[in-house]
Structures are given as C-alpha cells and as structure tokens.
Amino acid sequence: MSVVNRLVVLLPGFEHMPVEAHHRRFMREATKTAPVYDMALREVGALKVASAGDAVSVGEFRLLAAGNNWSTQTDFVLYGLGDINLFYAARNPVTRVLSGILALIDFIITGTFFRFVTTSWRYALFFLYPLVIMAAIIGLALGAGRVVEEFIDGGTITPLGVSMAAGLALVVLAARKMHFLLLMDDWTFARDMARDRRPDITAKLQYVIANAATRISNAPADTEIVVAAHSMGAICALQILDKALQTNNARRYGLLTVGSSLLKIAFHPAANALRKSVAAVARSHTVWIDAQSLTDPMNFYKSDPVRDLNITNAEPPVLVRVRFRNQLCDETYKSIRRNFFRVHRQFVYGVEKRTAYSWHAILCGPESFIDVAARGGLPCDNASCAQAALKVPEIAPV
C-alpha cells in the first residue's frame, strides 16, 4: 500500500539542540538516505518555528518524496524538547552534579536500577557509567593531592588546593569528552519526570502533549498519523497518543520508538501515570514499532515494554533489531562504534546501505506504517538485508 499523505510528530531525545538544528540534521541525513532507497526528496517551503510564551518551540516543515510510480507528502511537526534540556544545562555545575547524584541514588534505593539489570544488563552498565566517572575523578583528585603532600612540605592547605583544582579540571574534561554533565542532567530529568517534581517542566511537556494531540485529531481521515520518537522522546510519545486516543480511539495510529528510554522512567515505582499511558496505547489499535540495537548501550536491547511492565490484554510492539554495521560502510562504522553517544544517535542518522530499518525511509517513503510493521521492517532484496523483526504480532485491519 502506498501512502500519499502523512503527518509525523517528531520527538527528539535529550540533547542540547534547538528546533532549527534538529531540522538541519533531519534534512542532511534524509538527503543522504534518499538515494539508498531510490527516493527523490524535496522540501516544500521553509521551516516554520513558533513558540508560545514559556512553552517549547515547535517547528513545521513539509517533504515531498517520489520514486518509481509513487509520491508521498509528509508534514512534520517537530517539538523542541531541547528547550527542556537547556533548562537543566543552564544550572551551575555543582548543582548539576549534586542533583544527578541524588537522582542516581533514587533509582537505586527504589529498586529501579535492579529492574534495569534484569531487563537489559547493558543498560545497567550505562547507569553505572557516571558513577564510574565520579569515582575516577575523586580518586585522581585525591591522588594528585597525595603526590603534592609527599614531595612538597606545604601543610594540608596546598594538597587540598591541588586536589580541588585537579577535581575541577577533571570535571571539565569529563564534561567535554564524556558528556558527564549531560548525563547528570539526563538522570535528574528522569527523576523529575517519574516523581513529577518540576511543575514548570511538566507544564512544558503538557503543552507538547496537548498541542500534538490536537494536531492529530484535526488531521484528515485519509492522512496517516505517525508519532516518531528517539530516546527520551518516547516518554512524551506515549502520552501524546494516550491523549489522542481519548478523543478518537477508533483511528489507527502509528508509533515509532527508536533507541527508546521509555523503561528508564516507566520502571520507577512513582511513574504510575506513564505506565497507564503505555497500557492505554498497547491496548488500542495503535501499530507500534520499537527499534533496538545491541551496539547501543543507551537503549533497552531485547526488551518488550508491554511484557516488562506486566501489561495484560495488550499487543506487544513489533521489535526490530537494527545492526548499524550493516547500514554503514566499514570506515563509517569504525569511526563511530566507540563513541556510544554517536552510536545512540545513529537511529536518526542517514544510512549508506539498504536494510530493513531507516528512520528517514520509514517516515518519508511510500510504504504505509502498518505494512512496515507487518513485514517487520522495510522491504529488502539482498542477503545482508534479512528481516530484522524479533517479534511480529499479527496486525489485523480495524
């Protein structure tokens, strides 16, 4: 089935990027991907960006894609969740580190961390990563002070000063090279969302949810609706569709989550509202594809949100295994594989080889979302393009 009109709600992850930067990246990577899937891609008009008061920015743009005997028009609504990220990043470094430590402790004492361990041990290692960085900073800083104390007779003040200076320098280095402060902000945000601790941030997210749900409800009946989310954007995606279903639960929506951090918050005992949204979507006619990759330590590889949240009488998502190595040339893959932040973003980057998964080909191409889900991915012909589905539930017509 070829789709002519599509509305895509785009929800990016937790990144320091405004709407304009996300749009530029989407266009750059879509242009790179288009010839791989035999598509000609053209943007119609310019990006339109609007912001209502303290709410997040919203960008709108339209793409026309065409190929052999087909053409598709896709209207994108891109929400600037980076505005929320910038709020956390604007705090002083001490506050950012301390709030991150409190968040990590919260996830441990509530047992959430141990659910990470039993669901995806690689994600548990990602959780421990900032703790390892902190331990290394403290150890090296104290070591520097001990060295000074050993060779310089300056009492206790000089070694203490050296330790503090070394610790500060190491924090700056870790922030630049290992995204340390971004990680601390990320965990602080996760805790705030689970416990609903920040009414100002909740208000921004509620604006996104209400605005997107209204746009979905107002879309013509013949328009395909897809809510597409990367990483932390999945939390907002489930809530948007939950609200849209409250207005019209007969319509079939599409949900694409890639490199999802949904379980990061949903596993927290306090996140009851989010779990209810997941259950509502899973029990509806929504067609859900969840793309995961073993290479990415920041997603819950081989998880099933419906199963792992103990949601009954619900359809599981179509779980799609993505092998970045098969999508990229050897040189490109080798250049990114040791940078786990870059690997995490590969879900929304362009590809150099055709496989069953491509962010841009799914969102811009002629295949209907329900057909992509039923097949377990995009159509492929060559041997390296084997079906990626881990589990493909039968998708019956409404």
Residue 126 is predicted with a pLDDT of: 94
| Amino acid residing at 160 | L
Q: pLDDT by residue (tens digit) across 151-197?
A: 776 556 677 888 888 888 888 888 888 889 999 999 999 999 999 99
Number of independent structural domains in the chain = 2
Q: pLDDT by residue (tens digit) across 188-241?
A: 999 999 999 999 999 999 999 999 999 999 999 999 999 999 999 999 999 999
Are residues 308 and 256 part of one domain? yes
Are residues 73 and 108 part of one domain? no
- 44: CATH: 3.40.50
Residue 84 is predicted with a pLDDT of: 87
How far, in Å, are 145, 244, 258, 288 from residue 227 at the CA level? 53, 11, 11, 10
Are residues 126 and 210 part of one domain? no
Q: Is residue 330 part of a domain?
A: yes
Are residues 233 and 347 part of one domain? yes
Are residues 311 and 222 part of one domain? yes
Q: Is residue 190 part of a domain?
A: no
Strand order in the sheet with 58-67: 40-50, 58-67, 70-79, 5-11, 224-230, 254-258, 287-292, 318-321, 389-391
Last residue of some domain: 180, 215, 250? 180
Are residues 289 and 380 part of one domain? yes
Are residues 335 and 231 part of one domain? yes
Last residue of some domain: 117, 152, 180? 180
Are residues 291 and 379 part of one domain? yes
3-class DSSP assignment, residue 49: strand
Are residues 100 and 57 part of one domain? no
Q: Which domain holds residue 381?
A: 5-84+196-391
